[in-house]
């Protein structure tokens, strides 16, 4: 079954043709005035130090906001009929994990996605055989209007994971009117990434005549402003320059209903959190938000929880922090009975020539005490630390270990951080 009907059933606009379905309202907020968000003269001398200080947070009256459509997805029969075992096998083989309520199933081929012809034509031209893992799961998530967190590296095909659903989303919204800002905003950490995303948007947006504008720091503002004024459905921006242009009233985010935060971890590392907050604040709260990151540290998670609603999450590959490549990691999978012998042998190796300091992590407090007792009996200078020890006791143990008076510290995860100090 072809699914062109899926994408035209929402009164959306066929960009090669006319509006279909019911009448759509004009632009959001109408009018052609720009700069409604407190811009006060571009290039004005800055006295403020906070990014976007002159940007006021809009008061969203959701009852008065024009409604917009964000779910364009109908599962292909092949996807509907696929057994849970097959899907599980796919997840395991591809090292994909998904989380979240009612997560849509993955697709196994381009045809199963149900992209409209104007997207499929460009996809076919690439000569690719199948969706990448992140696309296989990310497209159904994004096309069904869900907020998405994607943990994936550059090179995984993530740009198209958010860009093709963005193109479908835009094609189902009313045309831009004079003075309207973008419908899709992609916030990225660097100029290079902005340009890469822009190339993809240009290639895949051409068939439905979508324009994109790329705004980033370190380049003259004039041409970027002219592109914005000409009108662009997609804006790809680094945070600082976007804030400048918003403050100056050269664009606005009143029409923005599809927001992408790309390489969120890198943006946080680069100190862009205040700017990101300011930008997100300017976008209507019922937008669709997609956040991409190569890693999933606590800071990124907190941001996701704050900016995304009821999100679905996809992780491709390693879930957590990356291992430090300067440290040789050896994993020895063994039975419980083998452990004492193996540990003794390992300690003899480590402590052989000089007293190397050794940390041993165990899961439980009981195991921590038991192991320390046994090791001391075997003649090792071991001390231990866990949650039941009093603070003076913990301080004393850490002091002994730091001074090298006890070379082996056995610990539960109370000691997993901060020992380096
Ligand atoms: P990205 O992770 O978005 O930077 O994409 C990495 C590269 O993968 C780009 O050069 C894309 O053109 C390419 N690519 C994206 N999707 C596919 C696919 N389904 N099959 C093969 N290559 C792809």
Residues 138-159: pLDDT tens digits?
Answer: 999 999 999 999 998 878 899 9
Q: Mean per-residue pLDDT for 118-130?
A: 96
CA gap 324, 330 in Å, rounded = 13
Q: What is the DSSP string of 81-121?
A: T--HHHHHHHHHHHTEEEESTTPPPP-SSSTTTT--HHHHH
pLDDT digits (tens, 9 = 90+) for 240-282: 999 999 999 999 999 999 999 999 999 999 999 999 999 999 9
Which strands, in side-by-side order, build the sheet including 258-261?
96-99, 312-316, 148-151, 288-293, 258-261, 184-187, 234-237, 212-215
CA gap 109, 129 in Å, rounded = 8
Q: How confident is the model at residue 37 (pLDDT cuts 50, 70, 90)?
A: very low
DSSP secondary structure letter of residue 130: S
pLDDT at 114 over 60: yes
What H or E segment, with its residue span, contains residue 234? strand 234-237
User: Which residues line ligand 1 at a C-beta cut-off of 6 Å?
Assistant: 128, 131-132, 135, 154-160
Q: What is the DSSP string of 359-406?
A: EEE-SSHHHHHHHHHHHHHTT--EEEE-TTS-HHHHHHHHHHHHHTSS
Quote the mean pLDDT of the chain: 85
Q: Tell how far the Cα of 129 is from the centroid of ligand 1, in angstroms.
A: 11
Q: Whose CA is nearest to atom 6 of ligand 1?
A: 155
Closest-lying ligand 1 atom to the alpha carbon of residue 159: 3
DSSP bridge pairs for 408: 358, 382
Q: Whose CA is nearest to atom 16 of ligand 1?
A: 157
pTM of the model: 0.69
Q: Whose CA is nearest to atom 4 of ligand 1?
A: 155
Q: Tell how far the Cα of 128 is from the centroid of ligand 1, in angstroms.
A: 9
Q: Whose CA is nearest to atom 14 of ligand 1?
A: 157
Residues composing the chain:
421
CA gap 104, 313 in Å, rounded = 11
CA gap 246, 47 in Å, rounded = 17
Q: Is 47 exposed, middle or buried (0-12, 13-18, 19+ CB in 10 A)?
A: exposed
Closest-lying ligand 1 atom to the alpha carbon of residue 153: 2
- List of residues 6+ apart from 27 with CB closer than 8 A: 174, 175, 176, 177, 179, 180, 255
pLDDT digits (tens, 9 = 90+) for 51-72: 788 888 899 999 999 999 999 9
Closest-lying ligand 1 atom to the alpha carbon of residue 131: 19
Q: Whose CA is nearest to atom 17 of ligand 1?
A: 157
- List of residues 6+ apart from 357 with CB closer than 8 A: 401, 404, 407, 408, 409
Closest-lying ligand 1 atom to the alpha carbon of residue 154: 2
Q: Which of 160, 186, 198, 236 to mutate to test the pocket of ligand 1 (most atoms within 8 A of CB)?
A: 160
| Closest residue by Cα to residue 108 from 140, 85, 153 | 140
Residue 324 vs residue 303, higher pLDDT: 303
Q: Token pair 């860009």 is at which residue?
A: 163
Instruction: Please give the angle made by the CA atoms of 184, 188 and 189, to the nearest 5 degrees.
Output: 165
- List of residues 6+ apart from 32 with CB closer than 8 A: 177, 178, 179
Q: How confident is the model at residue 30 (pLDDT cuts 50, 70, 90)?
A: very low
Percent of the chain, pLDDT > 70?
A: 83
Asked if residue 195 lies in contact with residue 49, where contact means CB atoms within 8 angstroms, the answer is no
Asked if residue 247 lies in contact with residue 55, where contact means CB atoms within 8 angstroms, the answer is yes
> What per-residue confidence (pLDDT) applies to 353?
64
Cβ-based neighbour number of residue 384 at 10 Å: 28
Q: Whose CA is nearest to atom 23 of ligand 1?
A: 157
Three-class secondary structure of residue 125 per DSSP:
helix
Closest-lying ligand 1 atom to the alpha carbon of residue 129: 20
How many helices (H) and strands (E) the chain has is answered by 15, 11
- List of residues 6+ apart from 169 with CB closer than 8 A: 70, 72, 183, 184, 257, 258, 288
Closest-lying ligand 1 atom to the alpha carbon of residue 161: 3
| Closest residue by Cα to residue 256 from 181, 324, 200 | 181
Residue 100 vs residue 390, higher pLDDT: 100
pLDDT at 195 over 50: yes
Q: Tell how far the Cα of 127 is from the centroid of ligand 1, in angstroms.
A: 11
């Amino acid at each position: 079954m072809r699914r062109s009907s899926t994408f035209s059933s929402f009164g959306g606009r066929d960009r090669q043709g006319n509006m279909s379905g019911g009448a759509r309202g004009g632009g959001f907020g109408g009018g052609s005035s720009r700069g409604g968000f407190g811009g006060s003269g571009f290039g004005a001398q800055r006295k403020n130090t906070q990014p976007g200080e002159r940007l006021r947070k809009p008061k969203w009256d959701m009852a008065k906001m024009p409604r917009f459509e964000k779910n364009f997805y109908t599962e292909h029969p092949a996807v509907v009929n696929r057994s849970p075992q097959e899907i599980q096998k796919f997840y395991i083989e591809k090292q994909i994990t998904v989380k979240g309520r009612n997560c849509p199933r993955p697709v196994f081929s381009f045809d199963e996605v149900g992209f409209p012809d104007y997207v499929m034509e460009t996809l076919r031209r690439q000569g690719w055989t199948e969706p990448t893992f992140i696309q296989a799961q990310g497209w159904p998530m994004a096309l069904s209007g869900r907020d998405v967190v994607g943990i994936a590296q550059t090179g995984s095909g993530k740009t198209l994971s958010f860009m093709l659903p963005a193109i479908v989303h835009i094609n189902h919204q009313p045309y831009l009117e004079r003075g309207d800002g973008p419908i899709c905003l992609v916030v990225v950490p660097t100029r290079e990434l902005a340009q890469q995303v822009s190339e993809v948007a240009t290639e895949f947006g051409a068939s439905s005549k979508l324009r994109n504008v790329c705004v980033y720091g370190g380049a003259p503002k004039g041409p970027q402003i002219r592109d914005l004024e000409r009108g662009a459905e997609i804006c790809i921006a680094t945070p600082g320059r976007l804030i400048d242009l918003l403050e100056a009233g050269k664009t606005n985010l009143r029409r923005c209903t599809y927001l992408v935060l790309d390489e969120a971890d890198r943006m946080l590392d680069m100190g862009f959190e205040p700017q990101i907050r300011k930008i997100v604040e300017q976008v209507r709260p019922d937008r669709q938000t997609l956040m991409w990151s190569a890693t999933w540290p606590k800071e990124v998670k907190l941001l996701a929880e704050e900016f995304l609603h009821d999100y679905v999450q996809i992780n491709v590959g390693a879930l957590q922090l990356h291992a430090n490549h300067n440290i040789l990691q050896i994993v020895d999978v063994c039975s419980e009975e083998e452990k004492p012998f193996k540990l003794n042998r390992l300690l003899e190796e480590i402590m052989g020539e000089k007293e190397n300091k050794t940390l041993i992590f165990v899961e439980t407090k009981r195991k921590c005490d038991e192991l320390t007792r046994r090791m001391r009996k075997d003649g090792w200078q071991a001390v231990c630390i866990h949650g039941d020890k009093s603070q003076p006791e913990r301080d004393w143990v850490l002091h002994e270990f730091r001074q090298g008076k006890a070379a082996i510290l056995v610990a539960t995860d109370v000691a997993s951080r901060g020992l380096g100090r």
